[in-house]
Amino acid sequence: MVKSTESESRKLLGRLREAMASDAEGQARLDRITQLIGDSMRTEVCSVYLFCDDDTLELCATEGLKPESVHQTRLRLGEGLVGRVAKTGKLVNTPDAPSAKGFRYMPETGEERFSSFLGIPVQRLGDTLGVLVVQSRDARVYSADEVYALEVVAMVIAEMTELGTFVGEGAALSPRHQQPVLMRGGTAQEGAAEGHVWLHEPRVVVSNPIADDPDAELVRLTGAVEELRVGVDRMLEMSKDGDKEALQVLETYRMFANSKGWMRRMEEDIARGLSAEAAVEKEQSQARARMGQVTDAYLRDRLADLDDLSNRLLRILTGQGVNTGAELPVDPILVARNIGPAELLEYGRSLRGIVLEEGSVGSHAAIVARALAIPLVIHAGQVTVEALNGDHIMVDGDQGVVHLRPGESVITAFRDKMAMQAKAQERYTSLLDKPAKTLDGVVVALHMNAGLMADLPSLESSGAEGVGLFRTELQFLVRNKMPRRSELVALYARVLDAAHGKRVVFRTLDIGSDKVLSYMKPNDEPNPAMGWRAIRVGLDKPGIMQMQIQSLMRAAKGRPLTIMFPFVAQFEEYKAARAAVMKSLTREIRLGRALPEKLEIGAMLETPSLAFAPQKFFDDVGFVSIGGNDLKQFFFAADRENERVRRRYDTLNVSFLGLIEQIVKRCATSGTPLSFCGEDAGRPIEAMCLAAIGIRTLSMRPASIGPVKSLLRRADLGAVRRIIDDARARGDQSVRPAVMEWLGQQG
Ligand code: PEP
Ligand code: MG
């Protein structure tokens, strides 16, 4: 039976290929296909429904239903049996359609005469594009072989749809990849960008789904699988001494690559008329469909591994490689499921924007994107499925919105917004050499946050007075092995050179929490943000801390040096860290090396506990910098990485401002310099309120300096202070509404 179906489906596919190769117009091709299927399956009706928008299916061609219903009959997703197939992605095979659950009678088609119904989802890589239906008068259940043959045909139709085979004059439909799509995600770096899609991992296009020589296809498949196996073995060999988790993943890859079941299914697909790449893709599609259904995280990961492996196999078969920087389109916007910081750095500033399906605000990729000031939208739906290389795309990093293939009105509105931003930018540029002096004469020092060499040019272009926070861990994160001391010395020296005498506050390693070094043993902690991180790691692993401190001293080579310790929760930790610096200093003296001309040692105040430390701490510490991102998450017990609670509490909440004000007072009592370096420092309204309660130094991303300065120069801090005090006296939860209203009155 299988044999006869094999040759049947091969025959059918052979005829389909002729239809594909013909130069008939889109609609004519689709009509021919339904006719061919109807004939060879000896069934009275064959119809193709395709999505005309996200939740509407349109009858695009039919053999057997009334011709006038073509392009007239429409169904919503989930409506009728066809809608059910599209919604669930699962086939429906019933001898008595009118009694089946969800049946909806469509009089315009004349389908009431047909009893049996077989609907197969037209899918490509787990993405449903439409439904292929056969119906017949007699009440029959279609056999497993018929179902199989139709599944193969559905897949070919999916490929053809993707390739735009049905488009052209007399188009059967507007294919999905030509329609505008709006995606709402989250914002990870503000800014607007317009450009063209650059898929980090381009979709492989299978242009030859049908093959007439199964033996030749089998040889191609076997050869490609062999190449894949050799590649996986080579990777395993190379990672032998490496990370255990990476090894486990590779072991799984090897298991799949040698899986007899996987191979057998693909061989069967080829025997039924598919080309080698179409067979790989068919199995991949099915794995993806399963991936959408399993809830077990481990299983999902394994299916994802299989998905990745299939991609590799497709690349080998089609010769379509991974993107290389050389072929970037003009104004490239990177589109990816996710991306690592090192890969992102390789693209560097050539990118206009980034859109990710996954990612998080605090991820390393986001940190790099921010450092490079590239607008980044995360959690952007299925953007890698929707987008094709070269597509026109607009990224709104402020709203977390992505417009793919936008229509005219969106383009106009978006460009207006970009023009407004450019105008604002001009205004900021004109303020470059002016101080952030408020109307009532208070001068606020604006510094910038950095972490990569790539940030340093911004010191000049942003007008920052110095680097208020240099996140040294970024250099560790973007490598795959621990940097050597000599490398660190060279790097820190380059940073100081580039700063041309401006103050740079080097924060020692803040690893742990979300910042995991691939080359350090991972810690399985239930709450990493509150776990073994930052100074806790530094004090427990003095070797790394000493190496870093020593590198900084050698890089300073007689120049002033500022070192700051992250995440200090109590006085003792600061004392221990300071002692480590002193130890290094003594060593350098003993070795007769040049000492820093001036050495400042400070602490980041990121846990509420430090705000309540003995006054002696504030007397002793060289300076304090409030790490508002962490301080806020611990003050409100709201994870900064958790989209559900991240924005729940306002920075301008009176309780939080109360805490900041207390820190201001305690530092003032001791005469200790204080700054604020969390993200809020770069938000103009927040920055203005922080200044109003006494913060005199703010450190922020370079791009925020202009907007913050611009508002501060127009603000009367005394008046803002009164608004804040009144709001508190009234018992407001946040001072924001009162401040916004006042700003509105000021125009
Ligand atoms: C902070 O917590 O506010 C801070 C500046 O440090 P990071 O964002 O690197 O944790
Ligand atoms: Mg922090």
Q: Could you tell me the domains of the chain? A: 2-173 (3.30.450.40), 181-188+331-421 (3.50.30.10), 214-318 (1.10.274.10), 447-674 (3.20.20.60)
Calculate Rg over the CA atoms of the chain: 31
Q: Quick one: average pLDDT of 154-177?
A: 70
3-state helix, strand, coil in the chain (%, to 5): 50, 15, 35
- Indicate which atom in ligand 1 lies nearest the CA of residue 625: 5
Contact 651, 731 (CB under 8 A): no
Instruction: Give the mutation target among 564, 677, 686 for probing the ligand 1 site: most ligand atoms within 8 A of CB.
Output: 677
| Euclidean distance between CA atoms 467 and 672, whole angstroms | 19
Q: Quick one: average pLDDT of 160-183?
A: 71
Cβ of 34: how many Cβ atoms within 10 Å? 24
What is the distance, to the nearest Å, from the Cα of residue 472 to the centroid of all Cα atoms in its chain?
23
Band of pLDDT at residue 7, cut at 50, 70 and 90 = low
| Euclidean distance between CA atoms 327 and 323, whole angstroms | 7
Tell me, using a 6 A CB cutoff, whether residue 471 lines ligand 1.
Answer: yes
Give the tokens for residue 84.
């059910």
Give me the pLDDT at residue 712, please. Answer: 98
Q: What residue ranges in 72-211 does DSSP mark as E strands?
A: 74-76, 92-94, 116-124, 127-136, 181-184, 186-189, 192-199
Contact 152, 367 (CB under 8 A): no
Give the tokens for residue 180.
């505008």
| Euclidean distance between CA atoms 587 and 706, whole angstroms | 43
Length of the chain: 747
Contact 95, 114 (CB under 8 A): no
Contact 43, 135 (CB under 8 A): yes
Ligand with smallest separation from the Cα of 473: 1
Instruction: Give the mutation target among 361, 471, 537 for probing the ligand 1 site: most ligand atoms within 8 A of CB.
Output: 471
Give the tokens for residue 227.
């190449």
* Least confident stretch, 431-440, 487-496, 637-646, 700-709: 637-646
48: enclosing H helix or E strand: strand 45-53
Contact 46, 64 (CB under 8 A): yes
Band of pLDDT at residue 615, cut at 50, 70 and 90 = very high
Tell me, using a 6 A CB cutoff, whether residue 466 lines ligand 1.
Answer: no
CA of 626 relative to ligand 2 center, distance in Å: 9
Cβ of 147: how many Cβ atoms within 10 Å? 16
Give me the pLDDT at residue 326, please. Answer: 46
DSSP annotation of 566 reads: E
- Indicate which atom in ligand 1 lies nearest the CA of residue 627: 3
Contacts with 163 (C-beta within 8 Å, 6 or more apart), sequence order = 205, 207
- Indicate which atom in ligand 1 lies nearest the CA of residue 471: 9
Give the tokens for residue 263.
């191979």
| Euclidean distance between CA atoms 573 and 303, whole angstroms | 45
From the number of C-beta atoms within 10 Å of its C-beta (0-12, 13-18, 19+), residue 1 rates as: exposed
| Cα dist from 156 to 121, 247, 301, 422, whole Å | 12, 37, 28, 47
- Indicate which atom in ligand 1 lies nearest the CA of residue 449: 5
Instruction: Give the mutation target among 367, 472, 510, 536 for probing the ligand 1 site: most ligand atoms within 8 A of CB.
Output: 510
Residues annotated catalytic, as ranges: 364, 677
Contacts with 103 (C-beta within 8 Å, 6 or more apart), sequence order = 80, 81, 97
- Indicate which atom in ligand 1 lies nearest the CA of residue 473: 9
Pairing of β 436-437 and β 353-356: unpaired
Contact 371, 450 (CB under 8 A): yes
Q: Quick one: average pLDDT of 248-256?
A: 75
Residue 103 vs residue 506, higher pLDDT: 506
The model's pTM is 0.68
Kindly tell me if the per-residue pLDDT of 2 is higher than 50.
no
Give the tokens for residue 404.
């793919």
CA of 531 relative to ligand 1 center, distance in Å: 15
Band of pLDDT at residue 5, cut at 50, 70 and 90 = low
Tell me, using a 6 A CB cutoff, whether residue 370 lines ligand 1.
Answer: no
Give the tokens for residue 737.
């509404």
Q: What residue ranges in 368-432 does DSSP mark as E strands?
A: 376-378, 392-396, 401-404
Q: Quick one: average pLDDT of 16-43?
A: 82
List the end-to-end C-alpha distance of the chain, in Å, as a whole number. 80
Which residue reads 């002193």 in tokens? 582
Kindly tell me if the per-residue pLDDT of 246 is higher than 70.
no
Tell me, using a 6 A CB cutoff, whether residue 632 lines ligand 1.
Answer: no
Tell me, using a 6 A CB cutoff, whether residue 628 lines ligand 1.
Answer: yes
CA of 735 relative to ligand 1 center, distance in Å: 24
Whose alpha carbon is nearest atom 4 of ligand 1? Answer: 627
Ligand with smallest separation from the Cα of 567: 2
Tell me, using a 6 A CB cutoff, whether residue 512 lines ligand 1.
Answer: no
Kindly tell me if the per-residue pLDDT of 158 is higher than 80.
yes
Cβ of 291: how many Cβ atoms within 10 Å? 17
Give the tokens for residue 352.
């206009």
Whose alpha carbon is nearest atom 9 of ligand 1? Answer: 471
Residue 423 vs residue 251, higher pLDDT: 423
Tell me, using a 6 A CB cutoff, whether residue 677 lines ligand 1.
Answer: yes
Q: Quick one: average pLDDT of 160-179?
A: 67
| Euclidean distance between CA atoms 548 and 472, whole angstroms | 9
- Indicate which atom in ligand 1 lies nearest the CA of residue 566: 6
CA of 119 relative to ligand 1 center, distance in Å: 54
Tell me, using a 6 A CB cutoff, whether residue 629 lines ligand 1.
Answer: yes
Closest of 709, 619, 732, 628 to residue 676, by C-alpha: 628
Tell me, using a 6 A CB cutoff, whether residue 680 lines ligand 1.
Answer: no
Cβ of 17: how many Cβ atoms within 10 Å? 17
Kindly tell me if the per-residue pLDDT of 22 is higher than 80.
no
| Euclidean distance between CA atoms 379 and 354, whole angstroms | 11
- Indicate which atom in ligand 1 lies nearest the CA of residue 362: 8
Give me the sign of the Cα torsion angle 20, 25, 27, 28.
negative
Contact 117, 133 (CB under 8 A): yes
Closest of 497, 457, 447, 452 to residue 472, by C-alpha: 452
DSSP annotation of 293 reads: T
Kindly tell me if the per-residue pLDDT of 566 is higher than 50.
yes
Tell me, using a 6 A CB cutoff, whether residue 630 lines ligand 1.
Answer: yes
Compute φ and ψ for 717, nearest 5 degrees. Answer: -65, -30
CA of 277 relative to ligand 1 center, distance in Å: 47
CA of 735 relative to ligand 2 center, distance in Å: 24
Tell me, using a 6 A CB cutoff, whether residue 627 lines ligand 1.
Answer: yes
